[in-house]
Amino acid sequence: MTQRKNRITYRQIGRYGEIIAVLVKYGFGDLLSRINIERYISVGKRILRGAPRSAAPEISRWHRVRLALEELGPAFIKFGQFASNRPDILPADLIASLEKLQDEVPPFDEKAAVSIIESELGKTIDELFASFATAPFASASIAQVHRAVLHDGREAAVKVQRPSVAETINVDLEIMRHIASLMEKHLHGVGAFEPQKLVDEFAGAIRKEIDFTIEAIHMQHFAHNFSSDPTVHIPLVFQTHCARRVLTTELINGIKVTNIDALFAMGCDPREIARRGAAAVLRQIFVHGFFHADPHAGNILVKEGNVICFLDFGMTGILTPTSRERLSAIIIGIVQQNPRKIVNALAQMSYSQLEHRDELEYAVSDLLQEYASRSLSAINVGDLFNHFSQLMAVHRLRVLPGFFLLVKALVTIEGVGYKLDPQFTMMEHIEPFVRRMVREQYTVGRMLHDGGEVAGDLIHLLRDLPSEIRELLQQVKAGRVKFEFEHQGLDPITRKFDQVANRLVFGLVLASLVIGSSIVILSDIPPKFYGLPVIGLAGFLTAGVMAFWLLISILRHERM
């Protein structure tokens, strides 16, 4: 938001009132007052004045945050889930509360679902499906899912977006940005955590999630990546039955991955499923660089033959080849107990300056000592990466959000693995992938490729260098080269000089006014008041007021 940052549009006013009322209800009226919300929206003033200060239940502040987000609806629920992936900027207790956010809501009207499908796909429900179950079998804050059968006999799952949810989310995003800007402006220290940037990152993610054509593309991408792997199945997308608010895919008749008894009854091996699930996620991360960011138990089904099926591809993450290499360096540094390698990789992954490198290296060394005597099978990846995230928060290292999505994916699949197999060890599954990546970096082909790129860059540099030097010399010769110096720490001194100068000028004006008024009095110039010139009296009165104001100003700042 540029010009609109501190202005409220007409369509936001009603929704803003709802949001303020919920926040006050859960005891956040003090926060709203601190960010001066009543200055920008009059309804805020009315609600804050009318609400009792004890409106919130006697529960923890972070629990109240979760309850408020759940009551505020889809955008805020999704924002809480998104923010729970940022341990670098949020306290651990708040993240633990946000991870419990519930995204299950009652289904919306079946007629509205049919209407949306028909308007999006341009055909009647009978033309699209041989049969369509009007009652959904799953319902969440953004969409619900119906069973259907295509005319060729294939079973389908039809995901339908809630009516007007996109419009509601867009309004909520504008309000979130406004609140974030007020927090940065009025709350000391909050600006360092960049709440506006966090909202902008979330806005990009949620807008992709409510566009089902993007999710369809993600599913096709995953299907291509695992096309040669019979142990992993990605649901088929029925492209002709998809649109922005409708996603139709193959219906998977499988068993929830953590339903151990049902898995045994179907003849599946939970330990093998744990191994395959970990391998699938690690392959997404270290080989494809495109991974399912939320592989929790509800998004994984198992079919006969221990075949794993991933669902819900609305949230995905991307890792560039360079990021994968640096992640590999971190894990190798953990295995080798090499804190310098880890710090180097963290610094390279960060887009902020690492100011206290020695302190971070000492903290990493101290952390590694906790794992020094443990075997790989005894290392909990989730705990380890959470510790690293906390270190990065303390040292203000900012990395791309994809890194924390990656950590979440690893932690989530590790938790699923433990439920399937108490002896499951994520680190033992990670190490072979990492070592393979390290070996690939030093193969003859890779070194020749990298050498070729370096040689190409060097040739371009040598080719352009003479002309660049010539242009620089011409600029110098023409007198168009300018050097800029930035002085650090001079602002307080400059302000003090300005203050002294202002007081000197003020004093000179005051003295001149006294002298001029005295001359007018002695000159006996009319008009007069009780025999004294009015102009002279006015001058003395003005001088007295100015002198009194200057004295009060000096005493207030405790400087004589």
List, by residue number, the catalytic residues. Answer: 294
Residues with Cβ within 8 Å of residue 81, at least 6 apart in sequence: 98, 99, 101, 103
Q: What is the phi/psi pair of residue 442, to 5°?
A: -115, 15
Q: In whole angstroms, give the CA distance from residue 255 to residue 263.
A: 7
Q: Are 146 and 134 in contact (CB under 8 A)?
A: yes
Q: In whole angstroms, give the CA distance from residue 363 to residue 359.
A: 6
Distances in Å between the Cα of 120 and the Cα atoms of 128, 139, 305, 392 are: 12, 20, 37, 45
The DSSP code sequence of 108-123 is: --HHHHHHHHHHHHSS
Which amino acid belongs to residue 91?
P
Q: Is 256 left (phi over 0), alpha (psi -120 to 50) or beta?
A: beta
Q: In whole angstroms, give the CA distance from residue 207 to residue 314.
A: 10
Q: In whole angstroms, give the CA distance from residue 284 to residue 313.
A: 13
Please name which of 79, 87, 61 lies closest in space to residue 179, comparing C-alpha atoms: 79
Q: In whole angstroms, give the CA distance from residue 543 to residue 509.
A: 9
State the Rg of the chain over Cα. 33
Distances in Å between the Cα of 177 and the Cα atoms of 2, 20, 347, 559 are: 11, 15, 30, 42
Triad 251, 252, 254: Cα angle to 5°:
150
User: What is the number of other CB atoms lying within 10 angstroms of the CB of residue 516?
Assistant: 14
Please name which of 381, 420, 384, 435 lies closest in space to residue 277, comparing C-alpha atoms: 420
Q: Could you give the residue ranges of the DSSP H alpha helices within 300-350?
A: 321-336, 339-349
Q: In whole angstroms, give the CA distance from residue 10 to residue 283.
A: 49
The length of the chain in residues reads 560
Q: In whole angstroms, give the CA distance from residue 86 to residue 78.
A: 13
